[in-house]
Each structure stands twice: as C-alpha cells, then as structure tokens.
C-alpha cells in the first residue's frame, strides 16, 4: 500500500484512541482526518441549522441519521485536503452506514484501503473517557493520566491555554455510547473482514506502541 495516498477507517468503541491515532496519522501521512463527531460538534457550536438539528440527539448519545452523515461526508471528501487520502474516525457506525459509504465512495471514484480496529477492554474505557480533554482552539486531544500537555495548561500543538471536556463524556452517556457500539458498530468487523481490508491492533498498549502497530500495517 502506498502510505502517501491512503483512505483509512479507524474502528473501535468510544475511548479506544481513534482520535489520538487519527491525529498522528494525519501529520505523518499528510492526509485529512475526518472525525464525524468533531464535524457535528463544530456544527452545534456554530449554531447552524445542522447543529440545531443534531444537538439533542448528540447530548443523549444517540446516532444522527444516515442521510445527514453521508451527505456531510460526501461534501467533506470532495475538498482539496482529502485528495491525498483521508482517515475516518467515528464513521461508519452501523452496517447501513458502511453500505451507504461504499456506494458514495464508488460514486466519488474512491475506495477504502484499510480498516484498523483498535481492540480494547470495555472496563478500562470508562476511566479513559472520564479523563480526557482537548484544546478548545485546535482540538488536540489530551488525558489527565495518560497524555498531559508537555507544559501544563498550554496546548502542545498550537500554544492555546483553553481546554474543554465533552458534554457526552459523562458516565451515564458513556455507557449508552458503549452499548450502542456493541449493538450497532461491532457488526462492521465481519463486514470489513469479508472484504479483506480489516486489520486489528492492541488498543490497550501505550499510545506509542499502538502507533507502531499501525505503522506496521500501513507500511510506515
């Protein structure tokens, strides 16, 4: 696989480290990181019509409709920064979305090269999710226990000093999101296995180890 032009999906439950690894892959490969959760949160923050439509659904930890998601993504992958490739984080989340993605990508003359599953232990996910926060300006991800900024209170990536925690990272919403993953998203694993593009990594390892495992897969 040519590591410079690659379309990837990162798959795993909330808190598995998809956002962290997507951030790394984005700078390593020069491809675009497309986090559907970030895109929707930006829409909510901007108060756009889309934001108003999805605000309550997201706060409850439910899934936004497939039509909205596929259209959002189609517009996004047409942009210039996706022409070298992209990493999907948070999409697809159901088999129906995966099927809709396949149709949309073939219409756009693109395809998925590889799906990387971050395998993790559910019990540890709650601790991981409870401790996470991100830069309010550039969105870089951090964690109280596993990844503090190098200089306390200052973002490593952009130097900003404001951080935020996600509304839906509260314990009761997290268990709903985990439940939704097992019911709706885990069936994607056999879907991509059959297509021969699924690769697994141990997502419980240190951040750097997970990165090395992914490098091994994409030929870094």
Spatial separation of the C-alpha atoms in residues 33 and 118, rounded to whole Å = 17
178 binds ligand AMP (CB under 6 A): no
Please tell me the distance from the alpha carbon of residue 16 to that of residue 203, in angstroms, as a whole number.
Answer: 6
Instruction: By CB under 6 A, name the one of 13, 17, 37, 85 that touches ligand AMP.
Output: 37
139 near ligand AMP, rule: CB under 6 A:
no
Which CB atom, from 16 or from 198, has the smaller least distance to ligand AMP? Answer: 16
Closer residue to ligand AMP in complex, CB, 10/155: 10
Residues 168-191, buried b or exposed e (16+ Cβ, 10 A)?
bbeeebbeebbebbeebbeebeeb
**Secondary structure element (H or E) that encloses residue 118, with its range:** strand 114-119
> How many chain residues are in contact with ligand AMP, going by CB under 6 A?
17
Is residue 58 a contact point for ligand AMP (CB under 6 A)? yes
Report if residue 91 touches ligand AMP, rule: CB under 6 A.
yes
DSSP state of 62: P
- Of 20, 32, 93, 116, the one binding ligand AMP by CB under 6 A: 93
- Distance in angstroms (rounded) separating the CA atoms of residues 183 and 27: 33
* Residues 6+ positions from 36 with CB-CB distance below 8 Å: 69, 72, 73, 88, 89, 90, 91
Q: Which of 12, 13, 90, 203 binds ligand AMP (CB under 6 A)?
A: 90
Which residues are identified as catalytic? 18, 93, 132, 166, 177
Which residue, 125 or 210, is less far from ligand AMP as judged by CB?
125
Q: Pull the structure tokens for residue 62.
A: 């439910």
Question: Which parts of this chain interact with ligand AMP (CB under 6 A)?
Answer: 14, 36-37, 40, 57-58, 61-64, 69, 90-91, 93, 97, 168, 177
């Amino acid at each position: 696989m040519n590591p410079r032009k690659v379309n990837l999906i990162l798959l795993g439950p909330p808190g598995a480290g998809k956002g962290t690894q997507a951030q790394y892959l984005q700078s390593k490969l020069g491809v675009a990181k497309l986090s559907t959760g970030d895109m929707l949160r930006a829409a909510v923050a901007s108060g756009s019509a889309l934001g108003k439509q999805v605000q309550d659904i997201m706060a409850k930890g439910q899934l936004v409709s497939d039509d909205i998601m596929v259209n959002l993504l189609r517009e996004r992958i047409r942009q210039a920064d996706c022409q070298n490739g992209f990493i999907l984080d948070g999409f697809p989340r159901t088999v129906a979305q995966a099927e809709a993605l396949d149709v949309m990508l073939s219409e756009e003359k693109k395809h998925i090269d590889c799906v990387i599953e971050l395998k993790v232990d559910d019990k540890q996910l709650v601790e991981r999710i409870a401790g996470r926060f991100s830069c309010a300006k550039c969105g870089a991800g951090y964690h109280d226990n596993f990844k503090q900024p190098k200089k306390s209170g200052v973002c490593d990536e952009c130097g900003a000093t404001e951080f935020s925690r996600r509304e839906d990272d509260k314990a009761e919403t997290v268990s709903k999101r985990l439940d939704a993953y097992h019911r709706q998203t885990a069936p994607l694993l056999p879907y991509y296995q059959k297509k021969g593009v699924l690769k697994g990594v141990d997502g419980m390892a240190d951040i750097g180890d997970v990165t090395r495992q992914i490098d091994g897969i994409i030929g870094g």
